[in-house]
Amino acid sequence: MIEAVFFDVGGTILDETREFADWADWLGVPRHTFSAVFGAVIARGQDYQEAFRTFRPDFDLAAELERRADAGVPETFGEEDLHPDARPCLAALKAQGLFVGLAGNQPPHAEATLRALDLPVDAIGTSAGWGVTKPAAAFFERVVRAGGGDPSTILYVGDRPDNDARPAMAAGMPACLIRRGPWGHILDDPAVAQRCLFRIGSLDELPGLVARHNATSPKAG
């Protein structure tokens, strides 16, 4: 049975459209140009920061975040940046009695911002707070510990086959791929997708899938 569900953050529960637009404006690049370059970087399997380095070769994310903060334009997000299906999905899974958590690659400010949103979750973990980033095995080991210690009972939900589904399954967890955002549409790895427990187009689908899975699980009785 699934006893815990952990979600990636960016792209999965957070719509990053405004964030990408803000970065394009900060770099002085037309938004459609930045989006096109970003998509090409993803399609080539490169680190997403290579999109920024296309326009600013010496780009360093930590330093740039600090410069933005000093200039009074810090990177941030709020309720309006949540995908509309995110909060209802989290609440529905909590109502099933499941342990619900967030765990994603996020900068230092993100954990406090996520907590301020008062989402219906039991745990929040970030790469900055844990000191390890996806797809490292140590990141998913932290997810397993936070979810109770038995990976077979922890579902990990994300939009990337390379950063989310594949390493989660390598850690012994079932995985769910959601197809949305740039990674969800540009990246395609049928071998990974076919091994996932669920493949969805919206988080609205997930609570029902989990409920039906648990109802038919041998442990259910």
Q: What pLDDT does 221 receive?
A: 46
Distinct helix (H) and strand (E) counts, the chain: 12, 6
How would DSSP label each residue in 83-145?
-TTHHHHHHHHHHTT-EEEEEE---TTHHHHHHHTT-S-SEEEEHHHHT--TT-HHHHHHHHH
Q: What pLDDT does 153 receive?
A: 97
Measured distance between the N- and C-terminal CA atoms of the chain, rounded to whole angstroms: 11
How would DSSP label each residue in 60-92?
-HHHHHHHHHHTT------GGGB-TTHHHHHHH
Q: Which of 140, 93, 139, 96 is nearest to 119 (CA)?
A: 93
Sequence-ordered list of residues with C-beta below 8 angstroms from that of 32, at least 6 positions apart, any chain: none
Cα–Cα distance for residue pair 217/221, rounded to 1 Å: 8
Domains and CATH numbers, the chain: 4-15+79-220 (3.40.50.1000), 17-70 (no CATH)
Residues belonging to the chain: 221
pLDDT in tens, the chain (221 residues): 999 999 999 999 999 888 889 889 999 999 999 989 988 888 887 888 898 999 999 998 888 888 888 888 777 788 999 999 999 999 999 999 999 999 999 888 889 999 999 999 999 999 999 999 999 999 999 999 999 999 999 999 999 998 999 999 999 999 999 998 777 777 778 899 999 999 999 999 999 999 999 999 876 44
Q: What pLDDT does 219 receive?
A: 65
